[in-house]
Amino acid sequence: MFGIEMREVGMSNFDYFAVDFSGDGSFSMGGKKFMLGEFTRDIANLSKDYVTGLLMLSGELNLTRRKLYFAGQYNRELFLKAREQIHAILDYVRDVKPFCFFDIKFSEETVDRFLNDAILDEYDLLVSGAIPPTEQERLSKLMKNIEHVHEFIVVYCYFGVDVANYGTAVISYTETFMQTGSRTKTDLATYAAFFFSDEKTLEILMKANPSVDMEGVTLRPRVTQVPVIGFDEEKEAPFITRRQYYGRLMDFFITELFEAMMQGHYLWRCKVCGTYFLMTTAHRQFYCGQFNPEYGTTCDHVANNRRLGRDKGMPKQKRKDGPLWVIRNQRYNSIRKNKSIGKYDEVISDMAKQILDERFEQAEIDPEYAERHYMDDIQLDKIYAEAAKRLGKQ
């Protein structure tokens, strides 16, 4: 669908995108690395108006699909209309998380490759019988192309439906899970087992489906999985991962949700700004770390400020419950342990701690850095390499 893979996979790659799961709580897609649960968080934070707009665009394409069904395999006017409608969907999502992380440009190029004016002229010749039977290869390719057009029309018809359905499901799950006060992996599994098998819940999710002729939330995602051997340029070492291919957003969304829960990642709603944020620990974090323009600081600082937070009855969040601090502490303890066993001397260990503190402080005041770079920048090998560089030992 989004052309993440730049080479042909299976029958075609326009209606598939690929995700590499690393097993460390993250996944890679299109050369970018993400924390498991990031896409689910972004879907939960889409506004109702935005989702409604996306539903309308997908619904218009679905109407064209129905007309094509009655018109037969090919109709130039309807193919042109489908091209225009798919481009409208891509324009609508191009700058919005999480869709902006897909290869929108390649998607547009793929649509135009199968639906440009020159290829439509070829389709016209095909259905008119003007291409002689002797040109079997040309005939076969054009017939296959028309099949592909129908396939990716269906993919984009599902776009709005899947986003709306999944958003409804994950918000319902998060809001009710928050009421339990649970935080551990066992709690996540226990509650997920209850929520996704409860007949009343499933009935609500089915009724929330905005399209009667489209499937709703599916707990059995259809994926193709293959082992992949990659090469880490930074570590100069090969690694083995598992790559999954998806032909529908819902299949990926559900996979990410449960992969995230297996790592202890889950959504929570910030008590200051009301947005959903991603928890990656069992600590009792109440607030997100995003900048809040209403207060001129990040939400997790609002509650700890006497004037802004505590006087309004907001519970104070302990520093140790912030995910940035949790991972900082883990790295700090590793540096201390490496020093005690003689792996690194006192000088380089002290410099490593200083660098760790610098990056933690930057993450506290820069939400974008915290989300995109902090976890990568505080890898121990990077910290020690920077410490050696500063000390002139490299």
> Residue 330 domain-assigned?
yes
> Residue 300 domain-assigned?
no
The bridge status of strand 17-21 relative to strand 26-29 is antiparallel
Number of domains, the chain: 2
CA dihedral 152, 156, 157, 163 (to 10 degrees): 140
Cβ neighbour number for residue 193 with a 10 Å cutoff: 10
Q: State what percent of residues in the chain have pLDDT above 90.
A: 33
pLDDT at 4: 33
My answer on whether 185 and 59 are in the same domain is: yes
> Residue 374 domain-assigned?
yes
> Residue 37 domain-assigned?
yes
Helix H or strand E segment including 232: strand 224-232
> Residue 244 domain-assigned?
no
Distance CA 175, CA 340 (A): 45
The domain in which residue 133 lies consists of 17-207
* Domain stops at, among 173, 207, 241: 207
pLDDT at 52: 95
Length of the chain: 394
* Domain stops at, among 149, 173, 207: 207
* Domain stops at, among 180, 207, 234: 207
> Residue 372 domain-assigned?
yes
Q: What is the pTM of this model?
A: 0.77
My answer on whether 31 and 175 are in the same domain is: yes
> Residue 284 domain-assigned?
no
> Residue 225 domain-assigned?
no
Q: Return the higher-pLDDT residue of 32 and 41.
A: 41
pLDDT at 11: 37
Residue 86's pLDDT band (cuts 50, 70, 90)? very high
pLDDT at 9 over 90: no
